Amino acid sequence: MHWDIGKMLVEKQKVAGWGAAVIPRLSKDIHNELPEIKGFSERNIGYMIRFAREYGTSILQQPVAKLPEQALLAGIPWGHHCLLIEKIKDVPVRFWYMEQTATNGWNRDTLAAMIKSDQYNRQGSLANNFDKTLAMPQSDMVRQALKDPYIFDFLTLSEQFAERELETELVNHLEKFLVELGAGFAFVGRQYHLEISDKDFYIDLLFYHLRLRCFMVIELKKGEFKPEYAGKMNFYCSAVDDLLKHGTDEKTIGLILCESKDKVFAEYALRDIHKPIGVSEYELTRSLPENLKGSLPSIEEIEREMSEKFIVSGDDYKNRLKEVKLRSSVQLKAAISVNRALLQFYWEFGADIAQKQVNAQWGNGLLRQLSTDLMAEFSEMKGFSLSNIKYFKKWYLFYNRTDIKSQQLVGQLPWGHNIAIMTKYSDCNEVLFYV
Task: Give the tens place of pLDDT for each residue, 84-136.
Answer: 988 988 888 988 888 888 887 888 888 888 888 888 888 777 899 999 999 99
**Taking each helix axis from N to C terminus, what angle separates 163-172 and 174-181, rounded to the nearest 10 degrees?**
100
CA atoms within 13 A on the CB side of 148: 20
Q: What is the pLDDT of residues 33-90, one digit of tens each?
A: 767 777 778 787 878 878 888 887 545 554 443 446 777 787 888 889 889 988 988 8
Domain identity same for 274 and 320 = no
Do residues 145 and 212 both lie within one domain?
yes
- Please report, for the domain that includes residue 206, its CATH number: 3.40.1350.10
pLDDT score at 354: 80
Residue 290 lies in a domain: no
429 shares a domain with 352: yes
For 283-302, b/e burial (b = at least 16 CB within 10 A) is ebeeeeeeeeeeeeeeeeee
Cα dihedral 377, 379, 381, 386 in deg (nearest 10) = 70
Domain finish residue from 121, 141, 170: 121
253-306 pLDDT tens trace:
999 999 999 888 898 899 889 999 999 999 886 555 555 555 556 556 655 665
Q: Is residue 241 part of a domain?
A: yes
Give the range of the structural domain holding residue 413, as residue numbers without chain letter: 314-434
CA atoms within 13 A on the CB side of 116: 14
Range 326-346 average pLDDT:
62
| Number of domains forming the structure of the chain | 3
Q: Closest Cα to residue 126, out of 254, 287, 234, 213?
A: 254
Q: For residue 289, is it within any domain?
A: no
**Cβ atoms within 10 A of the Cβ of 370, count?**
16
In this structure, is residue 195 part of a structural domain?
yes
Is residue 210 within a helix (H) or strand (E), and if so which, with residue range?
Answer: none
Residues 265 and 152 in one domain: yes
pLDDT, tens only, 146-173 = 998 999 988 888 778 889 899 999 999 9
Which of 44-48, 194-198, 307-311 is predicted with the least confidence, judged by mean pLDDT? 307-311
Q: Are residues 138 and 274 in the same domain?
A: yes
225 and 109 within one domain: no
Chosen domain end from 261, 283, 305: 283
Same domain, residue pair 350 and 218: no
Q: Do 278 and 139 sit in the same domain of this protein?
A: yes
Q: Are residues 202 and 72 in the same domain?
A: no
Instruction: Tell whether 72 is covered by a domain.
Output: yes
**Which CA distances in Å does 55 have to 23, 64, 96, 219?**
20, 15, 14, 43
133 and 278, same structural domain? Answer: yes
- The pTM (predicted TM-score) of the whole model is 0.55
Please identify, among 90, 121, 152, the residue that sits at the C-terminal boundary of a domain. Answer: 121
Mutual angle of helices 42-54 and 2-15, in 10-degree steps? 80
**Alpha carbons 315 and 44: distance in angstroms, whole number:** 66
Q: Are residue 88 and residue 147 in the same domain, yes or no?
A: no
| Residue 272, in any domain of the structure | yes
User: 275 with 154, same domain?
Assistant: yes
Is 100 a member of any domain?
Answer: yes
Residue 146: its H or E element? none
CB 187 within 8 A of CB 207: yes
* Residue 303 placed within a domain: no
